C-alpha cells in the first residue's frame, strides 16, 4: 500500500466516480455537439489560430475527425487527422480502465513510474514528427 493510500480515508464509490463521470460526460457532450454541428463547414467552430498562421498543428482536423467518426466514416476521419484516429482507441481504453478502477476502488492497471517518462517522450516526438510531416510537400497527404 502506498503512503498516500494509507493517509487518505476510504472514499465512497460516488466520490471516486465523480472525476471519471464528469470527464466522460463532458467528452460525450462534446462528441454529440460535433456530430450535430458539422466542423467541415468553415467557421462553424471558430477559426484555428495555427491555420491562420499557415501551418497545421497536430490537432488540426481533430474536430472534423470526431465528426467523421460519429458518422462511422473511418476513411474521412483518418484523412482529417490520422494521429487522432490512431490515438482514439487508446484514449477510450484508458478512460474505461480509469472508470472501472475507480468503480472497483482500486486501479486496474499500474503503470510503472519508470515507463511514464519514456512513453510520454515518445508520444511527443511522434506528434512533432507528425506535425512536421503534414506541413511538408511530401507529407501533404497527412494535412487536414
Alpha helices in 37-112 (DSSP H): 49-52, 62-70, 74-80, 82-104
- Any idea where the domains of the chain sit in the sequence? 3-142
According to the model, what pLDDT value does residue 7 have? 58
Assign residue 85 a region: left if phi > 0, alpha if psi is -120 to 50, beta otherwise? alpha
DSSP helix/strand/coil, 44: strand
Which pLDDT does position 52 carry in this prediction? Answer: 86
Q: Which residue in this structure is represented by grid cell 506528434?
A: 127
Residue 81, pLDDT score: 96
pTM for the structure as a whole:
0.84
Task: Determine if residue 139 is left, alpha or beta; phi over 0 gives left, psi from -120 to 50 gives alpha, anything else beta.
Answer: alpha
Q: What is the per-residue pLDDT for 5?
A: 55
Q: What is the pLDDT of residue 8?
A: 65
What local confidence, expressed as pLDDT, does residue 67 receive? 97
pLDDT value, residue 113:
87
Residue spans of the chain under pLDDT 70:
1-10
Backbone angles phi, psi at 46, to 5 degrees: 90, -165
User: What is the per-residue pLDDT for 109?
Assistant: 81
Q: Do 99 and 17 contact (CB within 8 A), yes or no?
A: yes
84 to 4, 89, 139: CA distances (angstroms): 34, 9, 16
Amino acid at each position: 500500500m502506498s503512503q498516500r493510500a494509507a493517509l487518505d480515508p476510504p472514499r465512497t464509490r460516488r466520490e471516486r466516480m465523480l472525476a471519471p463521470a464528469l470527464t466522460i460526460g463532458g467528452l460525450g457532450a462534446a462528441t454529440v455537439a460535433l456530430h450535430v454541428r458539422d466542423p467541415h463547414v468553415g467557421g462553424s467552430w471558430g477559426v484555428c489560430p495555427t491555420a491562420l498562421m499557415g501551418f497545421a498543428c497536430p490537432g488540426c482536423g481533430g474536430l472534423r475527425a470526431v465528426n467523421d467518426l460519429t458518422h462511422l466514416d473511418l476513411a474521412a476521419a483518418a484523412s482529417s487527422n490520422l494521429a487522432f484516429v490512431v490515438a482514439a482507441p487508446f484514449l477510450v481504453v484508458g478512460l474505461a480502465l480509469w472508470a472501472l478502477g475507480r468503480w472497483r476502488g482500486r486501479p486496474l492497471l499500474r503503470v510503472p513510474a519508470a515507463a511514464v517518462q519514456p512513453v510520454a517522450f515518445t508520444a511527443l516526438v511522434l506528434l512533432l514528427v507528425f506535425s512536421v510531416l503534414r506541413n511538408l510537400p511530401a507529407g501533404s497527404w497527412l494535412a487536414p
